């Protein structure tokens, strides 16, 4: 079995993988990718522009998880604009064949170490209320369910203390 490594995303090389992972995350969370693509249908372009900007500001904030020569996951994280003392996980993603084998802990540990390096006090993430498996995982990892987001009542907001 190949060892795992985490490396910054090379968007010029792995653009399609990033799109595929992000779109699949919507399917897993919400049952389809309509919310990703948006009403106007240009969600993929918006996402790539957002990711390009994110990587240009901090390459370590968007990473791929590798098993040998294969990309098996992705993490996107950063600071909340409205509260710079708080980190935010935009995406934890593993390909389907890697889910359920304990690798989520690696993603969560990596994000928390990233937030510690940024000297943040806590972190948040959003999760679909229908994604019981993810909610259970997050709660086991010390994330607290804060209830539905005020700005997006279709998802739950969760928070974890870092210090």
3-state secondary structure 50-118: HHHHHHHHCHHHEEEEEECCEEEEEEEEEECCCCCCEEEEEEEEECHHHCCCCCHHHHHHHHHHHHHHC
pTM of the model: 0.94
Q: By the 8 A CB rule, do 95 and 73 touch? A: yes
**Where are the chain's structural domains?**
4-161
User: What is the number of residues in the chain?
Assistant: 163
- Mean pLDDT across 95-108: 95
- The DSSP letter of residue 73 is E
Right CATH for 4-161 from 3.40.630.30, 3.30.1370.30, 3.40.50.280, 3.40.50.1100: 3.40.630.30
Percent of the chain with pLDDT over 70: 99
In this predicted structure, the answer to whether residue 1 has a pLDDT above a threshold of 60 is no
Residue 155, pLDDT score: 94
pLDDT tens digits along 43-67: 999 999 999 999 999 999 999 999 9
- Mean pLDDT across 104-124: 97
Residue 152, pLDDT score: 87
């Amino acid at each position: 079995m190949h060892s795992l490594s985490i490396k910054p995303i090379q968007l010029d090389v792995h653009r399609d993988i990033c799109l595929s992972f992000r779109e699949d995350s919507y399917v897993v969370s919400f049952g389809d990718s309509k919310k990703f693509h948006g009403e106007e249908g240009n969600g993929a372009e918006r996402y790539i522009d957002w990711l390009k900007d994110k990587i240009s500001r901090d390459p370590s904030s968007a990473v791929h998880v590798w098993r040998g020569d294969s990309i098996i996951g992705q993490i996107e994280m950063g600071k909340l604009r409205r509260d710079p003392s708080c980190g935010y996980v935009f995406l934890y993603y593993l390909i389907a064949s890697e889910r359920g084998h304990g690798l989520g802990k690696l993603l969560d540990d990596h994000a928390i170490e990233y937030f510690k390096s940024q000297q943040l006090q806590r972190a948040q993430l959003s999760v679909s209320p229908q994604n019981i498996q993810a909610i259970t995982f997050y709660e086991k990892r010390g994330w607290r369910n804060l209830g539905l987001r005020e700005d997006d009542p279709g998802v739950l907001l969760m928070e974890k203390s870092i210090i």
